[in-house]
Amino acid sequence: MTGVMAEAPAPVYLDFNATTPMAAEVLDAMAPFWQTEFYNPSASYAQAGRARHAVEDARSAMAHLLGSSSETIVFTSGGTESNNWVFWGTWLARPARRRRIIISSIEHPSVMESAKVLQALGAEMVMIPVDSEGVIRVDALDAVLTEETVLVSVMLANNEVGTLQPVAEVSERAHAVGAWMHTDAAQAVGKIAVDFTQLGVDFLTVAGHKLYAPKGIGALYIAPHVKVPPFIAGGGQEHGRRSGTEPVPLIVGLGRAAQLAAAWVAGNGVPSQAALRDHLEAQVLQLNPHARIFGRFAHRLPNTLAFAYPGWAGPSLLAVCPTILAGTGSACHPAGSGSSTLQAMGCSPSMSQGLVRLSLGRETTAEELATVVESFRQGMASSPTNPIPEEGSS
Ligand SMILES: Cc1ncc(COP(=O)(O)O)c(C=O)c1O
C-alpha cells in the first residue's frame, strides 16, 4: 500500500533583519520613474522638474519619519556608505588635536571596519564594552571620553540580538567633550519610532532595504550645524553633498517606504509585533527550557528573537529545519567564528556559534510562527545526536 506523502509546509521567512521585500506600494511609486519619468533631475526642461520634485518629496518623507527637516537628509547607496561617510567626513573635518574615535564592541562591520581604516591613518580607536544583555556600558564611556575625541558611534539597535542602546545618554556625554555623535539606525528605522531630537545625534544612518525599500539606497541624517566634506565628489548633486546622478526610482521608493514606516509606528504595528515575538519566545522556551534567549532583559526591537539551544550550532539547527529561513549571525563574519555580538556579550565561542536569529516582518502571522515552532520540534526530534522529547512524552 502506498501512503500519501504530507505536503512540506512552505518556507517561512524570518530574516527581516537581513533584508525586507519591497512593499507593493513602494514598487508602485517607483514604477513611472524607470521609463516615462526617467529624466535627469538636474536637466532644465519641465519634465526633469518632475523628477526633481519627486526626489525632494522623498527627502521630506524621510525627514518627517525622523522628526527632522529636509535639508538634513542626504541620499546614499545604503547603510554601509552612510557609515563610511561619517567616519571619513568627521576625520577630515576634525580639529588636529582630536584623534580619538569611540565605538561600541557590537557595531556592524561597516562601522567597525571604517574605524579600523582610520586607525591605520593615525586615529586612536577605543571600543566600549557591552554587558551580558548586549547593552553598552555607559560607565565605561566616561573613562575614555576625552577632549581628544572626535567621534562617538553607537548603533541604535543591534542587528544580531536586537538590543536597543542608550544613544541619547551617550550623545549627551559625547557633546559635553565637544565630540560628534553618530548612531547607525539601520535596524531601528521602520521598526520603532526614531526621533533625532530625542536622540540628540549629529549623524544617523538609514538603510533602505531594511524598511521595505529597494536595495542600493539609504540616507544619512546630518545635523544642520555639522559641516563635513562630501564622501563622493563630482557634479554636486544632493545639494553639493553627494555627487552622482540621483537614482530617482530608488529614492522615490525610499520616500514611499518612509511614509509606510511612519504609518506603521504611529499605528498598532510595534506592540502587536512584540506580542507575536513574545509568544514565539515562550514557545521556543517550551520546546527546551534550557534555551538561552539573548538580550531578553534588555529593551529590544519588537521583531527580533535571538536564542541558542544547548548543544546546537545555529547553522546545524537550521539545517534540520529547512522550513525556517533565518539568520545565524555569521553572514558578515568568517565561517565558524560565531556571532561577534555574542562574543562581545561574554558568551563562549561555542555558545556564540549557537545563535539563531528569528526576525519578524510586518506581515508575519501567528500561523507562520506556529509552523516555525513545529519545524524546530520535528527537526530536533529527528536528530539522533540532539534529541528532544516528543510532545506529550515523558
Ligand atoms: C546595523 C547595520 N548597519 C549597517 C548595515 C549595512 O547596510 P547596507 O546593507 O544598506 O549597506 C546593516 C545591514 O546589515 C546593519 O544591520
pLDDT at 386 over 60: no
pLDDT at 333 over 60: no
Distance 108 CA to ligand 1 centre (A): 7
Atom 16, ligand 1: residue with shortest CA distance: 159
* Intrachain domains 12-19+268-381 and 24-265 with the same fold: no
Partnered with residue 15 across adjacent β-strands are 359
Rounded CA gap, 212 and 224, in Å? 28
Residue ranges covered by each domain of the chain: 12-19+268-381, 24-265
Catalytic residue, chosen from 236, 332, 366, 390, is 332
Give residue 383's pLDDT band: very low, low, confident or very high (50, 70, 90). Answer: confident
Ligand 1 atom at minimum distance from 80 CA: 11
Mean pLDDT of 269-289: 98
Give residue 387's pLDDT band: very low, low, confident or very high (50, 70, 90). Answer: very low
The CATH number of the structural domain formed by 12-19+268-381 is 3.90.1150.10
Domain range 24-265, CATH architecture: 3-Layer(aba) Sandwich (3.40)
Q: Quick one: what percent of the chain has pLDDT higher than 90?
A: 91
Ligand 1 atom at minimum distance from 218 CA: 10
Q: What is the mean pLDDT of the chain?
A: 94
Q: What is the pLDDT of residues 204-242, one digit of tens each?
A: 999 999 999 999 999 999 999 999 999 999 999 999 999
Query: Could you tell me the CA-to-CA distances from 66 to 61, 204, 206, 325, 370 in Å, in that order?
Result: 9, 9, 10, 31, 35
What residues flank ligand 1, with Cβ below 6 Å? 78-80, 83, 108, 110, 155, 159, 184, 186-187, 207, 209, 218
CB 128 within 8 A of CB 103: yes
Q: What is the pTM of this model?
A: 0.95
Give residue 390's pLDDT band: very low, low, confident or very high (50, 70, 90). Answer: very low
Atom 4, ligand 1: residue with shortest CA distance: 79
Residue-level pLDDT at 331? 52
Q: Catalytic annotation on 347?
A: no
Give the closest residue to 201 by CA, choosing from 217, 178, 215, 180.
Answer: 180
Rounded CA gap, 173 and 162, in Å? 23
Distance 384 CA to ligand 1 centre (A): 38
